[in-house]
Amino acid sequence: MIMRVEIILFGQLTDIAGSNTIAVDDVQNSDELVTAINKLYPAMAGIKYIVAVDKKTIQTNTILNEKTMVALLPPFSGG
């Protein structure tokens, strides 16, 4: 069975994907997920964002499963 991870996007990542949520298949960990996203959306490759797994920011490569919720948040500067 294909493992599918749901990803919530914020900021300009939403503009690039054209949606607030995307899904990526068959990634085992957060590093693989970022690589897969960069392949799907090359415009995201140059963008800095934080990766949150189950509503927690991560500092190292993190194992994902089908129930994991991933969020990608770029910084905002406006005021």
Say how many Å lie between the first and final Cα of the chain, rounded. Answer: 46
In the complex, least distance from residue 26 CB atom to other proteins, rounded to whole angstroms: 26
**Length of the chain as a residue count:** 79
The token duo for 69 is 């919720």
Number of Cβ atoms within 10 Å of the Cβ of 25: 9
Site string for other proteins, 58-77 (x = CB under 8 A): xx-----------x-xxxxx
Number of Cβ atoms within 10 Å of the Cβ of 19: 10
Site string for other proteins, 9-48 (x = CB under 8 A): -xxx-------x-------------------------xxx
Q: Residues interacting with other proteins, by CB under 8 A?
A: 8, 10-12, 20, 46-48, 50, 52, 55-59, 71, 73-79
